Structures are given as C-alpha cells and as structure tokens.
Structure 1
C-alpha cells in the first residue's frame, strides 16, 4: 500500500495523482478512505505524513531504507516492552533487523508440524540468553511464591518432571547417573514420590492397540494421576466444595513411614463392567513378581472408585472385594489398615466410564532402585562421564552421598517387608 502511494506520488500530472490530491482534501470526512489508511500506517511507524510525501516524494531507495528502519525500530520497541513485562519472554534474545532476520520461533511453516517442533527446539537452545545459571530456578520460584501469596491456605505443591532428563529420543548413557542424583534429592526433600515408568505404560497400551502414540501414553499417565488427585466425595466436606485434600490424604494413607515414600499408580476404566470385573482386569494387568519369582508386597494402598453413581462400590468392598485387593497387592501384615477407600459419584476423567485407581506403596521399587544403583556404581568406578558433571559443579562427593541415600532406600524397603 505504501509502495503504491509513493509510485503514484511520483507521477506528476497523471490522473492517478490528481485523484490522490482530491482524496487528500476530503479524507477527513471518510475514515475508511485510502488516504486515511495510509496516514494511519505512516503515523504508526512515525513516518512523514501523506501530504509531505506527495509534495516531496523521496527516491525508492531512500524510501525503502527509511521504511525498513522505522518498522524495525517500532517492532523492536514492542518486543523489548513485552520481554520486560512478561516472564515467559524475559530471557528471549532479541535479534536486530527483524525484517530480514526474523526470530527463530517465527521461522516455520504453519502447516508443517515437524518444522514447528524443530523451531521450538531452536527457541529453547538458541533463542534464550543467559542471565545467570539459576535464572530458570529464580523465575520459577518467584512465580510459585506469587501463587502461594494469593492462597488463603497453602498445604504444598505437586511437581511433575522427568526423572533422568534427556530429549526423549531413547536411551542415554547418563540416565542412571541422573536417576541416582534425582532420586536421592527427592528422598531428602519430598513427602512422597509418584513414579511412572514409560516402559510399563507402553507395554500396557501395546496390549490394546497396534500403534502407540505419544498422545495415547500421555493420556494414560494423566488418567492415572487424575484418578488419584481429582476431588472425590469421600474427601469433600459436606458443608462446602472440595478443598483439594486428596494428595495429602494419599500421603498419610500410603506413606506412613518417611523412609518409604515411593508410590506407583494403577488405573483402569470401562463403561460396561462391574466393580468386580474392573478389579479382576486390574489384577491381571499389574506386575506382581520380580525377576526371581518373588511376590511384591505393599505397605499401604488407596483404592479410588469413580463413576459410583449407585453407591455400590463401598458395600462390595466390605463384602469381599477388599480381600481381593489385599491379595492382588500383597499387603503387609503389620499395617492394620493397608487399604483406604475413596469414592466419587461422577468421573471427571471419563464421564461415561467407571474407573478404579490404586495408589500403592509397593516393594517393586526396589528392583528399579537396585538397577540404577548397580549400573551407576560400575560407571562411577570407571570414572565414566564424571567430567561432564564436574563441569557444572557436581562433585564426586555428591555422587557418594547419592549412593548412600539410594542404598538406604533399598535397605529400608527390604526391612519393611522382611
């Protein structure tokens, strides 16, 4: 539009120029006229007025240079303001010459999902500038603090993250080191750790479908967590709405011992199956023995039934269904109340389904911990990859401390079931 206006302004004596001159005289009466739109653009980018360009039209070279400079200055100021006010853009590295050198996150085709994914990676690896090694931690802590300050009551928070890190592309030579360090830190600083194994989720879904997508795996994981953490009628006060006590009551029931705080969640949902049928299918789907054939035990369990509109789940539990759950999860004899029962008339996860979710503090964690411990020990003894950690301040003493913590977890679980 601006190029057209300049071209016509340069045509002295032409009919097109005379029409523009006429529009300039009457433009104040028509907000949607060509000249009004030209003036709005010129004002936006702080360029000369339409009348000035008409009287003294610049050369095309000078005009392009002036236009490019004005547009770059305008959008640079907008980006700078956005980055200063929005935490999600705070550490975005701005590039000069935005017209010829757009930011990495803009360099993608809208319909090319692969390209969008790759450019999202570019944003993470190249689009951020460092403002200290701890800026992500500091920014996150500030956002969490602000949310806590808005609460009338704060009980705690639930963090969801990868245990070993990586790109999701497969096995990593560092994954056992990462798991060792992460597990030891979680043991020292959390009340409860809910572990989800990708291989278990994949195996479960492969029994149902030929091709398993990431969406299917994510849906399965979210359904399991939602089955535990979403509000239930059992935990909702009769006098008012839910106050979100489910996570904390789960910790009280499932993790009575501070030394044994690792939980696994099992979930099943069907629309046309009885509670006994759901329990049977869940029992058939869980892994109950270790590689040597020994039966896994459990310290504590919470059984959550959703979609119990007829309120029949609790009576069936008292009439023999609870004994089947005790047998399936091999509850310890020293816990007089190894199973807690929650119900909800509606199912927020799948409104048409009835579902059973079990949060279990199981002995099966020992097998995984021993694998992580032993593989990490072998690499540590060979001093493999340690220089990568030393570079970022993780010392050999940190590894030794992590080994001690994980070894204590293993021994504590073994003693709980001996």
Structure 2
C-alpha cells in the first residue's frame, strides 16, 4: 500500500473523477483490502484546485464518504491559464497557499501508508494550476521525499489551441517534469479525441464529425490507467493484500534509460471470446510510425498488460503477441529484454465483467514529436516577446525559459538517437 494519488487542476480532477468512480465501484464488489485506501477506508488521494467547482462536483459524484475532507484543497482564485501564476502562487497567502496546504496533507497521507513508495500525479500541461502548481509540487515532493517515485499522468492540449499561453505553459511544465519525475504517462487530447470517436463509431471531430464529450475522453484515459495500474495478483501477498507496486514496476519495465521517461499508452478491448493477436493489432494502429522529419520511431521498452477471464489464453500465445508488439513498436536492439507482460483476470473496462483488455505502455520516441512541436512554437513566441509580460509579472525569469528550451531540445535529441 505505497501510493499517494495527487490530482491537480481542472483536468487532473476530471480524470480523477472517472478514475475513482471505477475504483470505488470495483472496491464495493471486492472483499480484499484496497491498496487505494488508508486503514480508515478513506481514499489516499489529494484533490487540489485553485477554484472549488470541479472538486466539489467530484466529491458529489464519487461514492459518498470516499474522500478525506482535509485532502480536498481548494482556492478562491484561478491561475489565469498562466504557468508562472500557478507555480509562484499568490505571494500574500503565505502558509495558506495551495502549495503549503497540499504538502502538509501529502505528508500526513504518506505517514498513513504502510510504506510510502511515491506519488502518482494527474494534471494537464496547459492550465495555470495543472501546469504551474503541478511543476512546483513535483519539485517540492522530490525535495521532501527524495527516495520516493513520482509518476505523472500528463494531458497535452489540442494543437489547435485552448489558450494563447498553452505553448509556454507546456514548455515549462514538460521541463519541470523531465527534471523531477521518474516517468510521464503522456496523453494527447487530439489523439484521445480521435480514438474515442472511433470507439463510438463517429467520424473524426477534427474533420467535421460529431463532437466527443470531455467525460468520454477522460473515461478512456481512466480505462487505460486501470489497465496498467489496477492491482495485479502477481503483486499481491499471500494474505491477499496488494502492496500497490504497479506504478513503480511499470517504471522499471519501461524506463531502462533514466533520462528518457515519456511513455505512450494504447488500449484495445473486446467482450466475450478474445483473440489477443487481434487486440494487439488494434493497439498498434495508433502508434506513430515516423517522426515529423520522416525518421522511423522506435521504443526502448514496453509493457503489455492483458486483463480478463481468459488471461490463460494470453499466456499460451504470448510469444506471438509480444513478437507482433516488438515489431510494431520497433524495440531497440540494444535492450536484451525490451518487452514485459503482466496478466490478471480483473478488468475494469466499460464493456462489462466478461470484457478483455490489452493495454500497452511503451517508452516510444513518438513523444519527442510533441516536445519538438511545443519547443518550436514556444520559441517563435518567445523571440517575438509575445505574452511574456504575463509571466514576468508573476515572478518568472528569462532563465526559466532558456533552461526549458535547452531541456526539451536535449530530450528530443536523445530520442532521435534512441535506435542506433
């Protein structure tokens, strides 16, 4: 029981809402102790936002009494979609700041765990709170708990634009994540939107198809997280108690090079009888094959998680499935064990109790395309001094930008050399 969950900002709490609805529903059917709870039955999660609306809605929609009231940390003033405002906060608040209150609650929640292993963070790259405050929290958590892991679940905004400051926000947040976290499960709104529309039988909304709700997109992200992080029997003690090691074992399996920590996740599911080879083919359809410069993408490591009542059939044919995945993800030749797999009979997909899901998480160089795009667009704005006064007024400095540019440039170069 080693994880403290931290959801920050509107996006982070909306993902958390879908995640905890799935978890609490499963928990009500399961008599075994839950790794998501403290001994008093409260969820080991902190819900943080600079405005109360989203957190209060989450509190109402998730099973009553699940949250510890002191872990619902809300402000009264938004952060203006500004990383600097979210990072530095309101100077006059002092010990009443969101940062101070969150760290106090996180320390207490860590003390309630049998053995604190780390924090899983849900947030967005674009919002003032989700990007700025999350960056500051990662920094503070690393300083307070240097031996604990930090796994970020990060959502990138639509390319078309949600805010004129989003490229600056994403640039600075990605730089902080690279510096202070151990791994980043990176989800892109455009990719998620297209996938959910396909699942619902709709045309691509980007090409004029019907709109897909944010709730549906967040539910898909929660399903992917459940595929990877919901307790597995292989990490459960003989007493039936899960130790909550899944996030940290995920990092071990997918991050053989500590400096390369951006993870791509894909999932396919079905009801009734299952063909794992077919699910593997569906998963690989969403993989970006080539970079913006037409350079083939590759992966340093991947983890496949097969869930469902017919998990034994995966074990029978796992060699074929893993071979297909390694070829599609173009696993690097220098890693002697590039692919790991887990199986479990428990599946939390929305398809029902007889559903099967294959979730694949890979350290894939396709993530560098997003980093490169963010760096290039932010640099163009920076050179023309666009909107920079909004960052200077809240304590940001030119050095923060220069360091962020260099960090993203270095990571994209490292990914470009990944295959050879």
TM-score > 0.5 by shorter chain: yes
Contact 1:269–1:356 (8 Å) recurs in 2: yes
Distance 2:419 2:358 in 1: 26
Change beyond 3 A, Cα 1:396–1:125? closer
State the partner residue of 1:285: 286
Contact 2:347–2:357 (8 Å) recurs in 1: yes
2:237 aligned with 1:275, yes or no?
A: no
Contact 1:235–1:342 (8 Å) recurs in 2: no
SS in 2 for 1:237: coil
State the partner residue of 1:257: 257
Higher relative contact order (CA 8 A, sep 6+): 2
State the partner residue of 1:401: 403
Trace 1:350-361 onto structure 2 (pairs within 5 A).
Answer: 350-361=352-363
State the partner residue of 2:197: 206
Deviation at 1:204, TM superposition (A): 1.0
Trace 1:72-87 onto structure 2 (pairs within 5 A).
Answer: none
Contact 1:332–1:417 (8 Å) recurs in 2: yes
Trace 1:171-186 onto structure 2 (pairs within 5 A).
Answer: 171-186=162-177
Distance 2:265 2:51 in 1: 38
Deviation at 1:125, TM superposition (A): 5.1
Trace 1:226-375 onto structure 2 (pairs within 5 A).
Answer: 226-272=226-272, 273-309=274-310, 311-318=312-319, 320-349=320-349, 350-375=352-377
Deviation at 1:235, TM superposition (A): 2.6
The alignment's C-alpha RMSD in Å is 3.0
Distance 1:342 1:92 in 2: 39
Q: Deviations for 1:64-99, whole angstroms, at most 9, x for unmatched residues?
A: xxxxxxxxxxxxxxxxxxxxxxx999x999xxxxxx
Deviation at 1:351, TM superposition (A): 2.2
Change beyond 3 A, Cα 1:310–1:395? closer
Contact 1:266–1:359 (8 Å) recurs in 2: yes
Change beyond 3 A, Cα 1:160–1:122? closer
2:100 aligned with 1:149, yes or no?
A: no
Change beyond 3 A, Cα 1:133–1:390? farther
Deviation at 1:166, TM superposition (A): 6.1
SS in 2 for 1:346: coil
Deviation at 1:292, TM superposition (A): 4.4
SS in 2 for 1:227: helix
Deviation at 1:262, TM superposition (A): 0.7
Distance 1:308 1:285 in 2: 25
Contact 1:166–1:172 (8 Å) recurs in 2: no
SS in 2 for 1:416: coil
Deviation at 1:122, TM superposition (A): 11
Please identify, of 200-209 and 306-315, the stretch whose mean Cα deviation from structure 2 is larger: 306-315
Structure 2 residues not aligned, in runs of 5+: 1-45, 57-73, 80-89, 130-156, 203-209
State the partner residue of 2:98: 136
State the partner residue of 2:124: 162
Please identify, of 338-347 and 266-275, the stretch whose mean Cα deviation from structure 2 is larger: 266-275
State the partner residue of 1:382: 384
Deviation at 1:239, TM superposition (A): 4.9
Choose between structure 1 and 2: higher strand proportion: 2
Contact 1:193–1:261 (8 Å) recurs in 2: yes
Give the structure with higher Rg (CA): 1
Contact 2:301–2:338 (8 Å) recurs in 1: yes
Change beyond 3 A, Cα 1:195–1:125? closer
Deviation at 1:134, TM superposition (A): 6.9
Deviation at 1:154, TM superposition (A): 0.4
State the partner residue of 1:216: 216
Change beyond 3 A, Cα 1:292–1:308? farther
Number of equivalenced pairs? 303
Contact 2:95–2:101 (8 Å) recurs in 1: no
Please identify, of 228-237 and 386-395, the stretch whose mean Cα deviation from structure 2 is larger: 228-237
Change beyond 3 A, Cα 1:304–1:88? closer
Distance 1:316 1:233 in 2: 20
Distance 1:215 1:92 in 2: 19
Distance 1:88 1:378 in 2: 35
